[in-house]
Chain A
Amino acid sequence: MKFALAVYGAPANSQATQSALHFARALVAQGHEIVRLFFYQDGVNTATAIAQPPQDESNLSEEWQQFVQAHNLDAVVCIAAALRRGVVGQAEAERYKLPGNNLRKGYELSGLGQLLDGALMADRLITFGA
Chain B
Amino acid sequence: MSHSVCIISTRAPYSGQAAREALDTALVSASYDIETSLLLIGDGVYQLLKEQDAGQIPRKNHSAMLQVLPLYGIETIHVDQVSLDERGISPDALQEGVTIIAGDELPQFIQQHSRVFNF
Q: Which residues of A contact B (CB under 8 A)?
A: 6, 8, 40-41, 80-81, 84, 111-113, 115-116, 119-120, 125, 127, 130
Q: Is A116 touching B29 in the complex (CB atoms < 8 A)? A: yes
Using Cβ atoms and an 8 Å threshold, which residues of chain A touch B24? 80, 112
> B residues 12-69 with Cβ under 8 Å of A?
17-18, 21, 24-25, 28-29, 32, 34
Q: Which residue of B lies closest to A78 (CB)?
A: B21
Asked if B72 is at the interface of the complex by the 8 Å CB criterion, the answer is no
Interface of B is mostly: mixed
Q: How large is the interface on B (under 10, 10 to 19, 20 to 34, 35 or more residues)?
A: 10 to 19
Q: Would you give the shortest CB distance from A86 to chain B, in whole angstroms?
A: 13
A130→B119 contact, CB < 8 A: yes
Which residues of chain B have C-beta atoms less than 8 A from A119's C-beta? 5, 115, 117
Shortest distance in angstroms between A16's beta carbon and chain B's nearest beta carbon? Answer: 12
Starting from the known contacts A41-B17, A113-B32, A116-B28, 20 additional A-B residue pairs (CB-CB under 8 Å) come to A8-B119, A40-B21, A41-B18, A41-B21, A81-B17, A81-B21, A112-B24, A112-B25, A112-B28, A115-B25, A115-B28, A116-B5, A116-B25, A119-B5, A119-B115, A120-B3, A125-B116, A125-B117, A130-B10, A130-B119
